[in-house]
Amino acid sequence: MLLAHRIELKPNHRQATFFAKGCGVARFAYNWALERWQQRYKDGKKVDEALLRKELNAIKREQFPWMLEVPKSAVQQAVKDLGSAFDHFFRRVKNGEKPGFPRFKKRGVNDSFRIDNGPARPGADAVKVKGSAIRIPKLGWVRMREPVRFRGQSKQAIISRQADRWYVSILVDTPHHPNQPRKNHGGAVGVDLGVKALATLSTGEVVEGPKALNRLLRKLRRLNKQLSRKQTGSHNRRKAQMALARLHRRIGNIRKDALHKLTTQLVLNHDIIVIEDLNVSGMMQNRHLSRHIADASFYELRRQLEYKAKLYGCEIVLADRFYPSSKTCSNCGAVKAELKLSERIFRCDTCQFEIDRDLNAAINLEKLAVSFTDRVNACGGMSAGSDAEAPPSEAHPVKQEADIEQVRITPNRFE
């Protein structure tokens, strides 16, 4: 199983400069390839990323000698990333969606570069990890905040900047084992993600969101306003931008931490977890900022649940996006025609049942798990969560939730 662990780096001044250069080169290569792609397309010529990589390789020594100062794969991976961006674009066109065309990268927006470990041969351009340090080709050893949590061969490293900090995401090929064994098999649970509370479970448990978040959200609004008043290109504007980026990072970290705690508890205690396919309740909110946060939380929750479900051996069931989890009475099954967002208590017109709105939705979601198991049992007998007994782990004990993502096994990941 391929797992990535994202760790903060502690570069010195020279190393941070090198990273900035790596990002700059990768961005340049990406934009160069995008321009060439469009040109060849206009000229009616065949184009793909392999062709552009070859072309760039042939001219870079002459035309862009500074590219040689960063790891070779940073250049190649950038062009491959463009190939993935086009793959993604064409796939979505084929599906009848309306995707945006791949765009030129801007400085300061998602700055990153990728170093791949090719086939092992002596002197190869490779990443090495040892304890709390990582060796970057053409740079040397850089300190990390913590060691990598997984044992196995490191396949690639993505170095990225968020506000004023540097991070490395290390992809490790690791044997499949969870950090902790499952505690118990609590059957199915429905999870309704909210804006006020982080989540309401069908067991009746309400998981409050982190308290610090509301205060920070108010601050975010204020900083946004302040930024809009600063003059374009001014030093003060740059300062305000950095303050805003730092705050975004902090909010994101707090949110992620809360979600990690929630999702770990969910996969440790339940065999089947049912969530909505889209965060419908979040989408109905008209407060712009809280909506944005809730949506982001939803995608993050789903991402975490999906990889943790694989690690710990439980099932995730996604409710159809048109399933009326909020409008259905969890007692008698009657569906209301209309339910205002302000109605925090669900009152059934048919059976007079009264229940908290979010709990009602969570219970309805849990009910979907029953039909899910029936379906699975009917078509082949593999009941959900049957392979859940996990072997005790040899990995590092979990003190704090790691920022781990499961990665789809494709050679080119589009980010």
Residues labelled catalytic: 192, 276, 358
Terminal CA-to-CA distance of the chain, rounded, Å? 19
Q: Which of 57, 331, 393, 412 binds Zn ion (CB under 5 A)?
A: 331
Residues binding Zn ion: what is the number (CB under 5 A)?
A: 8
For Zn ion, which is the closer residue by CB, 28 or 353? 353
Our finding on whether 354 is near Zn ion (CB under 5 A) is: no
Closest CB 349 distance from Zn ion, rounded Å: 8
Our finding on whether 348 is near Zn ion (CB under 5 A) is: yes
Closest CB 354 distance from Zn ion, rounded Å: 10
Phi/psi at 230 (5° precision): -85, 150
Our finding on whether 339 is near Zn ion (CB under 5 A) is: no
Q: How far apart are CA 241 and CA 106, in angstroms?
A: 15
Do the beta carbons of residue 78 and residue 415 sit within 8 Å? no
Q: How far apart are CA 156 and CA 170, in angstroms?
A: 6
Closest CB 201 distance from Zn ion, rounded Å: 21
Burial 242-275, CB ≥16 within 10 A → b, else e: eebbebeebbeebbbebbbebbbebbbbbbbbbb
For Zn ion, which is the closer residue by CB, 16 or 355? 355
Q: Which stretch binds Zn ion (CB under 5 A): 169-177, 228-236, 264-272, 341-349?
A: 341-349
Virtual torsion, Cα 134, 26, 297, 312, nearest 10 deg: -40
Closest CB 334 distance from Zn ion, rounded Å: 5
Our finding on whether 350 is near Zn ion (CB under 5 A) is: yes
Closest CB 300 distance from Zn ion, rounded Å: 34
Closest CB 356 distance from Zn ion, rounded Å: 14
Q: Which of 332, 335, 341, 345 binds Zn ion (CB under 5 A)?
A: 332
Q: Which helix (H) or strand (E) holds 7?
A: strand 2-10
Q: How far apart are CA 210 and CA 254, in angstroms?
A: 7
For Zn ion, which is the closer residue by CB, 224 or 350? 350
Contacts of 360 (CB under 8 A, 6+ apart): 326, 328, 329, 330, 346
For Zn ion, which is the closer residue by CB, 99 or 333? 333
Q: What is the CB neighbour count within 10 angstroms for residue 290?
A: 16
Where do runs of H (alpha helix) occur along 143-287?
212-229, 235-269, 280-284
Our finding on whether 363 is near Zn ion (CB under 5 A) is: no
Segments of 23-126 assigned E as strands: 112-116
Q: How far apart are CA 373 and CA 130, in angstroms?
A: 45
Q: Which of residues 230-259 bind Zn ion (CB under 5 A)?
A: none
Joined tokens for residue 256:
């992620």
Closest CB 353 distance from Zn ion, rounded Å: 5
Do the beta carbons of residue 368 and residue 361 sit within 8 Å? no
Q: How far apart are CA 298 and CA 295, in angstroms?
A: 5
Q: Which of 9, 318, 329, 384 binds Zn ion (CB under 5 A)?
A: 329
Joined tokens for residue 371:
């039909």
Q: Which helix (H) or strand (E) holds 358?
A: helix 357-378
For Zn ion, which is the closer residue by CB, 253 or 350? 350
The secondary structure of residue 342, as a DSSP letter, is: T
Phi/psi at 20 (5° precision): -60, -40
For Zn ion, which is the closer residue by CB, 351 or 382? 351
Q: Which of 28, 64, 89, 353 binds Zn ion (CB under 5 A)?
A: 353
Window 271-310: contact mask with Zn ion (x via CB under 5 A): ----------------------------------------
Q: Which of 351, 375, 383, 387 binds Zn ion (CB under 5 A)?
A: 351
Closest CB 275 distance from Zn ion, rounded Å: 23
What residues make contact with Zn ion under the rule CB under 5 A? 329, 331-332, 334, 348, 350-351, 353
